Structure 1
Amino acid sequence: MDKAIYVYHPDSLKYVFHQNHPFDQRRLTLTRDLLQQVNALSVDQIFVPGELPDSHLLQQVHIPEYVEAVKQLSLEHPSQQAIDRAFQYGLHQGDTPYFAGMHQSALSIAAGSVTAAQMVMEGQTTHALHLGGGLHHAMPQKGAGFCIYNDAALAIAHVRETYGAKVLYIDTDVHHGDGVEMCFYTDPNVFTYSIHETGKYLFPGTGRVEERGAGEGFGYTVNLPLEPYTEDDSWLECFETTLNQVLERAKPDLIISQHGCDAHALDPLSHVHCSMRIYQEMPRMIHQAAHQWCEGRWVALGGGGYDIWRVVPRAWSLLWLEMSNHPLLQQLHTDPLLPLPQDWLDHWQAESPVSLPQTWLDDVKRWEPIPRREEITQSNRAISEIAATYLK
């Protein structure tokens, strides 16, 4: 029987760059509250990870000089020398600016993802969800894309070192999972698969279908870059087709998936036009894959998602409902426009700058049609076929 654990570290709420930064951790609170309102998350399902010994673990992914720079820039009043070198480590005043306490809050996020993977590998739970994680852009030598420490890569490195398990990393964020890919680009025991908007128009500008790994890891990296304004049917068709072929090649002992929910039409930082439907269907496919290929061992992480009011709480709640086999899932299959709990709407509408959605899924019949739908679908299908050819 499935058991699912919801990993949550309170210090992850302190991962705040500045007041107006798009990476807004209130989304964690909004999601947890929504799940509790529908009786889908109990106290005994929540696990708070302990402290993480940072030196050894962090250095499995990040160079010591970078970790030291993060520590120095985390001080309330960093030295001028540390500030002068912030640019070198990607921590200057850009998308990933340094802030007081960032080392400890980023370390707590890393602890959550490593703990989730450890609990699954040791049989304490079948599935583990850590929504604070998924900071997939951080590189060994620098921060990038709102990410300080790459918790997903750290969890994978820990699994490889401690258990010798083969890992399939699935990244469904609209932005290419470049940091995780880079960390394991030559490793045949870690298969990385990323479905994302093409880097022609979107950060980080990588993730071409031709990126396939190198050395012994050649063939163990798959990228599926989709067109702007891709909609649900095309996104899901490409994902399902390639995922099945990836699984045949990867034969994983563990699946670690990243669930950025920024491919939604309302997300302000991308150009993809999907609805909440993909956040209902993609976890279902991954769930089935985990049971088919690795005895259910599945760790799911958060990631991007910048419409924190209308998109993230619903998308991440759907992920937990799938992982925990909650009965509400069946209701949503028969009634996709099932209303959200009124108490949750009443409470958060007072803070939200936009009108909150009233239903779990989106009524896409009311959306404006995309004029280039067929052209986009055919382009995505062609890219998917190229990726599939590489897998043979």
Structure 2
Amino acid sequence: MKDSIFIYSPLYQSYKFHQMHPFTQLRVEVTLDLLKSLDAIQEEEIVYPRVASDQELLLIHDQKYIEAVKLAGEGKLRQEEALGYGLGTEDTPIFPNMHEASALLVGGTLTAVDYVMTGKTKHALNLGGGLHHGFRGKASGFCIYNDSAVAIKYIQEKYGARVLYVDTDAHHGDGVQWAFYDDPNVCTLSIHETGRYLFPGTGNISERGQGKGYGFSFNIPLDAFTEDDSWLNAYRQSLEEIAEFFQPDVIITQNGADAHYFDPLTHLCATIKIYQEIPKLAHEIAHKYTNGRWIAVGGGGYDIWRVVPRAWALIWLEMKNIQVSGSLPKEWVDRWQKKATVPLIPKWEDPSPLYPPIPRKQEIEEKNLNTLNKVLHFIRENKPKRNRTNANESY
């Protein structure tokens, strides 16, 4: 049994809106090349994704929406109808064969699920996934189909397992949250920049689920300009307590890399330090509660040269228990500098000094701590009683 697998196909590059669009799957190729340059991944650890079937997409998405995506990719969907489905917008433009490209990304995450849930591997990484803004009948925020939501429903129906979904993208994981808002067998945690300043504008601490799902949805909206220590404090404390009460059978982590201070679309001020710690704690949680079952996907991240490859490579390196520091491989830096639009940083660590001191640093940290404490208080006061005898015996 392999301890970890990396899901990838060159066809991931077909999920491409246009040349100037900030969302590009080139990030996955550059990350994989970095791992190869480090001799940190073997060819037999790279697994080709399958394409998600319409039946699998229907676990989350409406039939009419899937048909609209197909027609749009063939240039046969009228503009006014397309806009009703969130297609053809500035964020989510129409491109040729968009259904096929999107279904492949979903299939990549489903491939990861099957490998992990059947015991072929402990950990699986699909950086082409993490499209957390997709809704049942509408595209949103660069996301056409929601691979994580489809994967969670697939896990429930095929394997009967309880899923903890952890989203550390700077944008709220709205599509996944709403898909399982009334489901007590899926627990979602999203740590993101407050929606006061950033798309999609949701993810308040008051969004806690509804009906039987009340108390299984958690949000920690962080203030703009949040730095490493405050970010990591919120992450560690919330994830440790949520995992302890929920006792998941499998963990899925969405690993957007857009909380970094270089990111052009967000307002957080984290460094590469948080991307060293995010997978480390996820790894610990997986081995403590799920017998190691951990599926990781990609997400946002729009500084595709200096931030995303390093941040995403660190997920795989954590899965493989490989430690790195110091300089990046010179051949990798030289190879991609020819294409990069900014000077590449030739080391894992960020440059220092990073930026002028944040004037509101103490105020920001106090606001974040107050938000975290409200979430932790709610967890402690409303701890669900988990009866493990009701769980699938195999987990």
Q: CA deviation at 1:358?
A: 1.4
Secondary structure at the aligned position of 1:146 is classed as coil
Aligned residue type for 1:117: V
Partner residue of 1:381?
369
Partner of 1:345: 333
1:259 aligned residue (255, 261, 265): 255
1:278-317 equivalences under 5 Å are 278-317=274-313
Between 17-26 and 137-146, the greater mean CA deviation after superposition? 17-26
Cα deviation for residue 366 of structure 1 reads 4.4
Question: CA–CA distance in 2 between the matches of 1:2 and 1:379?
Answer: 43
Match of 2:238 among 242, 247, 253: 242
What letter corresponds to residue 243 of structure 2 in structure 1?
L
**Structure 2 residue matching 1:257: 3-state secondary structure:** strand
Question: TM-score, with normalisation over the residues of structure 1?
Answer: 0.95
Partner of 2:17: 17
Matched residue, 2:358: 370
Contact 1:275/1:364 (<8 A) preserved: no
Q: Is the 8 A contact 1:2 1:324 kept in 2?
A: no
Residue equivalent to 2:69? 70
The amino acid across from 1:43 in the alignment is E
Aligned-residue CA RMSD (Å): 1.1
C-alpha separation in 2, matches of 1:366 and 1:289: 31
In structure 1, runs of 5+ residues without a counterpart are 333-337
Offset at 1:235? 0.2
- For residue 121 of structure 2, give the secondary structure of its aligned residue in structure 1: coil
User: Secondary structure, in 3 states, of the residue corresponding to 1:224?
Assistant: strand
Residue 345 (structure 2) pairs with residue 357 (structure 1): yes
1:268 is the counterpart of 2:264 = yes
Partner of 1:321: 317
Give the distance between the partners of 2:24 and 2:51, measured in 1 at CA: 23
The letter for the 2-side match of 1:343 is: E
Return closer, same or farther for 1:142/1:280 CA change in 2, 3 Å cut-off. Answer: same
Name the residue aligned to 1:55: 54
1:243 is aligned with what amino acid? L
* Aligned residue type for 2:330: Q
Q: Deviation of residue 363 (structure 1)?
A: 3.4
Q: 1:130-157: CA deviations, max 9, x gaps?
A: 0000000000010000000000001101
Q: Do residues 130 (structure 1) and 118 (structure 2) align?
A: no
Larger displacement relative to structure 2 (83-92 or 124-133)? 83-92
Give, in whole Å, the separation in 2 of the partners of 1:248 and 1:66. 38
For 1:191 and 1:110, the matched residues in 2 are separated by 20
| Structure 2: segments with no counterpart, 5+ residues | 381-395
Q: Secondary structure at 1:126's aligned position in 2?
A: strand
User: Any runs of at least 4 consecutive aligned residues in structure 1 with deviations exceeding 6 A, and if so which?
Assistant: none
1:100 and 1:82 map into 2 onto residues whose CA distance is: 15
SS at match of 2:190: strand
**Once the two structures are superposed, what CA deviation does each residue of 1:34-71 show, in whole Å capped at 9, x if it has no partner?**
1100101110110002333x221111100101000000
In structure 1, distance between residues paired with 2:189 and 2:229? 20
What is the aligned counterpart of 1:177 among 154, 173, 177? Answer: 173
Separation (CA, whole Å) in 2 of partners of 1:314 and 1:361: 9
Measure how far apart 1:365 and its partner are: 3.7
The residue number in structure 2 matching 1:118 is 114
Task: Give the Å deviation of 1:364.
Answer: 4.0
Structure 2 SS opposite 1:28: helix
Kept in 1, the 8 Å contact 2:51–2:108? The answer is no
Residue type of the partner of 2:36? Answer: Q
Tell me, in whole angstroms, the C-alpha distance in 1 between the residues paired with 2:2 and 2:51. Answer: 27
1:348-367 Cα offsets, whole Å, 9 max, x none, are 11111111011112134443
Tell me the distance in 1 between the aligned counterparts of 2:11 and 2:65.
21
CA offsets 1:311-346 (integer angstroms, 9 cap, x no match): 0000000111001112xx1x43xxxxx011111111
TM-score of the two chains, using structure 2 as the length reference: 0.94
Structure 2 letter corresponding to 1:61 = I
| Correspondence for 1:335 | none
CA deviation vs aligned residue, 1:209-266 (integer Å, no higher than 9, x gap): 1100000000000000000000000000111011111112211000000000000000
The Cα shift of 1:98 comes to 1.3
Amino acid at match of 1:278: I
Q: What does residue 208 of structure 1 align with?
A: 204
CA distance in 2 between counterparts of 1:90 and 1:51 reads 23
Displacement after TM superposition at 1:118 (Å): 1.3
1:18-41 superposed Cα distances (whole Å, 9 cap, x missing partner): 111000221111111111001011
Contact 1:110 1:150 in 2 (8 A): yes
Q: Distance in 2 between matches of 1:55 and 1:104?
A: 11
Contact 1:167 1:255 in 2 (8 A): yes
Aligned length: 380
Cα distance in 1 for residues equivalent to 2:2 and 2:103? 29
Aligned AA (1:138): G
The aligned counterpart of 2:143 is 147
Query: Offset of 1:286 from its aligned partner?
Result: 0.5
